[in-house]
Amino acid sequence: MPARIEVGRKGCRGAYRTPPSVQGCLVVDCTVISDPLHRPNKSKSEKKKFFPVPVVAEKLESVHGSKFLDLVDKVVQGVLEDKVVHVQCMMGQNRSQAVAWRAAEKLRVDHPEIPFEGPVCLPGLVSRIPGVNV
């Protein structure tokens, strides 16, 4: 099986968990960084506002810096070791998709010779990653 980056979620607030598609894959847990775009005290219309993944990645990098880049490097290292990498956060919308997108961009620039699939959102998740329709 070729290396692959997949996005899932741990599940919370009634959302079911999306487990990794392969047992024994590398799981990167993005809940170690907070979601700077989470708006718990806003109105319902503002809570439903979604930001593009590149904007989320930029915000995560500016707020968390090295912690965000460490997660990206862990994903890149897993792909270089030819593993399936499962990136997850609570809902699978902001942090996990941003980390997966940034890792894929880094692989395409730094290691264009490495074949990999992804990032792919597992069933039940809505992809907001540019160029990924699932």
List the chain pLDDT tens, one digit each, 134 residues: 678 999 988 877 656 777 788 888 999 999 899 887 766 666 555 555 678 889 889 999 998 989 999 999 999 999 999 999 999 988 778 899 999 999 999 999 999 998 888 788 888 777 878 766 54
Considering the domain boundaries, does residue 56 fall inside one? yes
Per-residue burial over 32-60, b = 16 or more CB atoms within 10 Å of its CB, e = otherwise: ebebebeeeeeeeeeeeeeeebeebbebb
Considering the domain boundaries, does residue 128 fall inside one? no
Distance of alpha carbon 132 from the chain centroid: 12
State pTM to two decimals.
Answer: 0.87
Amino acid at 104: A
Considering the domain boundaries, does residue 134 fall inside one? no
Contact call for residues 7 and 93 (beta carbons, < 8 A): no
Considering the domain boundaries, does residue 126 fall inside one? no
Considering the domain boundaries, does residue 133 fall inside one? no
Considering the domain boundaries, does residue 116 fall inside one? yes
Range of the domain at 37: 4-121
- Of the candidates 31, 33, 9, the one whose C-alpha atom is nearest the C-alpha of residue 20 is 9
Tokens of 74: 């862990």
Considering the domain boundaries, does residue 97 fall inside one? yes
Tokens of 91: 């809902």
Give the chain's domain count: 1
pLDDT, residue 15, reads 64
